[in-house]
A and B are shown apart, each in its own frame.
Chain A
Amino acid sequence: MLDSKIPSGKLDDKWVDYKGHCKLVNPANKRKMEVIIVGTGLAGASAAAAMGELGYKVKAFCFQDSPRRAHSIAAQGGINAAKNYQNDGDSVFRLFYDTIKGGDYRAREANVHRLAEVSSNIIDQCVAQGVPFAREYGGLLSNRSFGGTQVQRTFYAAGQTGQQLLIGAYQALERQVALGNVTMHARHEMLDIVKIDGKAKGIIARNLITGELEKHFGHAVLICSGGYGNVYYLSTNAMGSNVTAAWKAHKQGAYFANPCFTQIHPTCIPVSGDHQSKLTLMSESLRNDGRIWVPKNIGETRKANEIPEADRDYFLERRYPAFGNLVPRDVASRAAKERCDAGFGVGTSKQAVYLDYAAAILRYGKIEVSKQGLSNVSADQIIALGKEVVKEKYGNLFEMYAKITGENPYEVPMRIYPAVHYTMGGLWVDYELQTTVPGLYALGEANFSDHGANRLGASALMQGLADGYFVAPYTVGNNLADEIYNAAIPTTHPAFEEAAKKVADRIASLKNINGKQSAESFHKRLGKIIWDKCGMARNKEGLTQAIKEVQALKKEFWSDLRIPGEINEYNPELDKANRVADFIELGELMCIDALTREESCGGHFREEYQTPEGEALRDDENFMFVSAWENKGEHEWQLHKEELKYDVIKPSQRNYK
């Protein structure tokens, strides 16, 4: 059994007690301590800024040309915090409870409670940094609600909350760069962890402009490199988002937890053809007013607007009358897939359902008519008024849809389909966010700890910033206090030399394959295997088959890959090949994990384990644990379990009917 080092005491007191008793490093010693941070999204940038402010010598790395590009920037909806500004009954406990329940009872109570506790500090910190959150006319902060909650606790900046929070963290980071506390290494990719006496003591990073391998020492290494959704090739992640840093950590002894817990978001713009390189999310907020439907008849040929009500199937409203179109993400996604698999899908690909705003436009139009006290209004006028209201609420999203599809969503229903969006699984960490390798930490989406088997909307931003601003500075410090006697190790140490040689050898062997196929083409094939067999629905037969297919793909990759250009130059194809090689190995582990977890929970739906109505069937008796996988060599992993104990919350079956 794994020790998650959860402090003793009452749930409410754990974090306060921890902070009151953890070891400190005095300012003079902090200046001697070096901290490496890999990735500069919300978790990495906030950690780098906060640790730099404390006086540590921070070295931060990102593969993009600037830390401001990290994919946290694309988050649309908002960030949760238990402020209870709306006086609607919110509290730390409720945010904690909603997150545990939303995660289908597969997250760790102590971590989630801490997350809820620090959520308020995040909003205060961001406001102080100048993050322009939406405000009411009285000048105070505005809130809205999100899926899986009954209160309004989501803070937002139009549809660009992630951008504004990241820019805030980026500016705090750049301030530390200016002050000399943080050294920023952009266009660098971490390619291995250096361990000395079993502890993480540095990294090998490749300068992506020159191709040169660099050795960097650190008393601690923080992996903040995001999630692994791009294992599916098509996802809402940025093109460069990858698992490489986390995977290298895994290969060096860090356990990988719950890799099969992936989130498929129901409302994305569907795939239009084989050329597709990425998918675009349409905010969850659209399900507040839009109605989701498919035709009642297979082979329907009429255009959407010509299909009468009687021939439409509003399948979410039909199956879940209580929650209707606002069921959680995992439930909505599966229901859309079920209809498309049964042949009712729409569009050229038949892999899409309609998201229709006609009813909302009419409803808002009528409200406007009565608001404005109009009489003798024609049907067209009502619709025009309704369109204005919808435009004000969702205009930027409708515009984005129009740009991509060339269709006008005010006139014809949008076509949407689920897409990979977030990964709940990640590096296993204890209460201190430390992995199973001492001195090696994982923050944000890169770790597994807070969202269980399904993440609620507006919680990813909260977790990234909680880990970086308010958790890691304490927990990393607690361990660095023991390192003050250890001077920085020169990178001429044999462990650095060996690690660098290993990385150089691997790059050379990739380059020397000299085959015929591009890294991109292998990535696409990997994505198809994982999406078909370890996507929205999984079963034993498919997963067993997928493992074989991924193993075969790995063989083919290592014998027929072609990387153009040279090693010692700017070479994006080489970068990509490095990442795809790691995705292939991760893909195998995901399928193994999904095969081992013989239950359905959250985003993990095993077809063999469902209720007669087709809902996810959890098995708390046998699977109330975190699966933490230890790498034992090629195609070999050992399962370690962390038992999940619910001291405060009583797990129950989720029901949305």
Chain B
Amino acid sequence: MSQNTMNLKVKVWRQRNANTAGAFVTYDVAGISDEMSFLEMLDILNEKLITEGGDPVAFDHDCREGICGMCSLYINGKPHGPWQANTTCQLHMRAFKDGETIVIEPWRANSFPIVKDLTVDRSAFDRIIQAGGYISVNTGNAVDGNSLPIEKQNADDAFAAAMCIGCGACVAACKNSSAMLFLSAKVSHLALLPQGAPERKSRVLNMVAQMDKEGFGSCTNTGACEATCPKEISIANIARLNKEYLGASLSAE
């Protein structure tokens, strides 16, 4: 419980907006407690920049408890930093040592253009969902919830896929900037449930087409996405996506 404090250097990517060039700027941050969260360390840096008349570092964040998917950051070469199954907002400073230099970059992918500094535009994910990531049921049409028993294993697997928080770490980690893990999580979630069956084929075809249109790269099965996913979404979902896609393509002809 006793707090240790450290002095660090942070090397941060600064970029005014999408149309200007960016560069790294190094700052000193002093008196950082190991009980702080990583984003609280950035809060301290920003408070210092503001009071000194500078421009604070822009970064996305909201819930700060690992569920909203808004925070991002490439920290020392890893999306969401060094801890496994973790989001940046849950990363704490005890992961670092006194005197260390921490390198902080935004998600780097052509389909996620930079808004400012460490903030990127992930609206491509919303458009992929719009292409078919839902079940077409209007409000009020539903039958009794228990009229459709679902095998527990399928329900659990669907839930495991539906845990995706849409943060984009999978894209950032992939050398091809592929969005296959994100896409496959949604396709799996809905394909594993009987409610998703009627639109199963059109869904996968349309969502993949939208993903390609957004400029995300291809999947070469390196597994970097799974390794970095804060919710440990399994790469087995990509296999299921490929199966769904192949089946749908063949029968669509």
Residues on A lying within 8 angstroms of B by beta carbon are 46, 49-50, 53, 64-71, 73-74, 83, 85, 121, 123-130, 132-141, 157-158, 160, 163-164, 167, 170-172, 174-175, 177-178, 184, 186, 209, 236, 238-240, 272-273, 275-278, 280-281, 347-348, 400, 403-407, 469-470, 473, 516-518, 520-521, 562, 564-565, 569-570, 572-573
B61 pairs with A174, CB closer than 8 A: no
Cβ contact of B134, chosen from A126, A171, A239, cutoff 8 A: A171
**A277 contacts B130, C-beta separation under 8 Å:** no
Query: Is B122 a contact partner of A66 (Cβ separation < 8 A)?
Result: yes
Are B43 and A49 in contact, with the CB atoms below 8 A? no
Q: Is the CB of A209 within 8 A of B115?
A: yes
Which B residues are CB-close (under 8 A) to A565?
Answer: 55
Q: Most chain-B CB neighbours within 10 Å: which of A71, A184, A239?
A: A239
> Is B155 close to A, CB under 8 A?
yes
Say whether, besides A125-B140, A157-B159, A167-B162, A172 and B37 are in contact (CB < 8 Å).
no
Contact-residue size bin, chain B (C-beta under 8 Å from the other chain)? 35 or more
A46 to B53, CA, bound (A): 43
Residues of A within 8 A of B146 (CB): 83, 85, 140-141
Select which of B58, B83, B143, B149 is within 8 A of A572 by beta carbon.
B58
Task: List 20 contacting pairs A-B, 8 Å CB cutoff, sorted by A.
Answer: A83-B145, A124-B144, A127-B195, A128-B135, A132-B193, A133-B155, A135-B155, A139-B149, A163-B67, A172-B139, A174-B126, A174-B130, A238-B64, A272-B36, A275-B36, A347-B1, A404-B37, A516-B51, A518-B50, A518-B51
B residues engaging A (CB < 8 A)? 1-3, 17, 33-37, 39-40, 43-44, 46-47, 49-51, 53-56, 58, 60-70, 83, 86, 90, 92, 94, 115-116, 119, 121-123, 125-126, 129-131, 133-146, 148-152, 155-156, 158-159, 162-163, 165-166, 189-190, 193, 195-196
Closest A residue, CB atoms, query B128: A174
The CA-CA distance from A528 to B119 in the complex, in Å, is 30
Q: Which residues of B contact A139 (CB under 8 A)?
A: 149-152, 155
Q: Is the CB of B47 within 8 A of A66?
A: no
Contacts of B63 in A (CB 8 A): 69, 71, 73-74, 238-239
**Residue of B1, B43, B149, B193 with most partner-chain A CB within 10 A:** B1
Residues of B within 8 A of A172 (CB): 134, 137, 139
Main secondary structure of the interface of B (DSSP, over half): loop
Q: Which residues of A contact B33 (CB under 8 A)?
A: 272-273, 275
- Interface pair A171/B133, CB less than 8 Å apart: yes
Given known A74-B68, A140-B146, A275-B36, contact A564–B56 (CB-CB < 8 A) = yes
Smallest Cβ-Cβ distance to A570: which chain B residue: B116
Q: Closest CB-CB distance, B143 to chain A, in whole Å?
A: 7
A138:B149 contact, CB within 8 angstroms: yes
Q: Knowing A64-B70, A175-B130, say if A470 contacts B139 (CB, 8 Å).
A: yes
B47 touches A518 (CB 8 A): yes
**A residues in contact with B145, CB < 8 Å:** 83, 123-124, 126-127, 133, 141
Contact A132 B162 (CB under 8 A): yes
A239 adjacent to B137 (CB under 8 Å): no
When the two chains form their complex, are residues A406 and B64 in contact, meaning their CB atoms are under 8 A apart? Answer: no
A403–B67 CB distance below 8 A? no
**Docked complex Cα distance between A73 and B63 (Å):** 9
Extra pairs beyond A128-B137, A132-B193, A564-B56 (11, CB < 8 Å): A71-B62, A125-B139, A128-B135, A133-B155, A139-B149, A141-B146, A239-B64, A275-B36, A406-B92, A570-B119, A572-B58
Partner of A240 from the list B62, B67, B143 (CB cut-off 8 Å) is: B62
Contact partner of B55 among A400, A404, A564, CB < 8 A? A564
Question: Given the complex of chains A and B, what is the CA–CA distance between A174 and B68 in angstroms?
Answer: 17
With both chains docked as a complex, state the minimum distance between the C-beta of B54 and any C-beta of chain A, in angstroms: 7
A/B pair count, beta carbons within 8 Å: 227
| Cross-interface CB contact of B90 among A125, A163, A404, A520, cutoff 8 Å | A404
B131 A275 Cβ-Cβ under 8 A: no
Query: In the complex the two chains form, what is the Cα distance from A377 to B68 in whole Å?
Result: 45
Chain B residues within 8 Å of A65, by CB: 60, 70, 121-123
Q: Are A570 and B129 closer than 8 Å at their CB atoms? A: no
Q: Do the beta carbons of B56 and A129 come within 8 Å of each other?
A: no
Query: Given A68-B166, A239-B62, A470-B139, are A277 and B47 also a contact pair (CB < 8 Å)?
Result: no
With A121-B140, A174-B133, A347-B1 known as contacts, the answer to whether A132 contacts B195 (CB < 8 A) is no
- Complex Cα distance, B236 from A388, in Å, reads 27
- Nearest residue in A to B157 (C-beta to C-beta)? A132
A128, B166: Cβ atoms under 8 Å? no
Do B133 and A128 have beta carbons less than 8 Å apart?
Answer: no
Chain A residues lying within 8 Å of B61, measured Cβ to Cβ, are 239
B15 CB to nearest A CB, Å? 11
Give 6 nearest A-B pairs by CB, closest first. Answer: A139-B149, A171-B134, A128-B142, A124-B142, A132-B159, A127-B145
Known A73-B68, A130-B193, A139-B149; contact A273-B123, beta-carbon cutoff 8 A: no
Whole-angstrom distance between the Cβ of A47 and the nearest chain B Cβ:
10
B48 to chain A, nearest CB (A): 10
B145 CB to closest chain A CB, in angstroms? 4
Chain B CB count within 10 A is highest, among A133, A137, A275, A278, for A275
Also in contact, A403 and B166, with CB within 8 A (given A69-B70, A275-B43, A277-B39): no
Residues from chain A with a CB closer than 8 A to the CB of B123 are 65-66, 186
**CB-defined contacts of A164 to chain B, threshold 8 Å:** 159, 162
- Bound together, the chains give a CA A167 to CA B123 distance in angstroms of 15
Most A-side CB within 10 Å, residue of B46, B54, B58, B65: B65
When distances are taken between beta carbons in the complex, the residues of chain A under 8 Å from B119 are 570
Bound form: Cα–Cα A176–B141 in Å: 16
Q: Are A564 and B54 in contact (CB under 8 A)?
A: yes
Give the distance to chain B from A430, nearest Cβ to Cβ, in Å.
23
Q: Which chain A positions have C-beta within 8 A of B58? A: 570, 572
| Contact present for A158 and B159 (CB under 8 Å) | yes
Q: When the two chains form their complex, are residues A135 and B152 in contact, meaning their CB atoms are under 8 A apart?
A: yes
Q: Give complex CA distance A125, B138 in Å.
A: 9
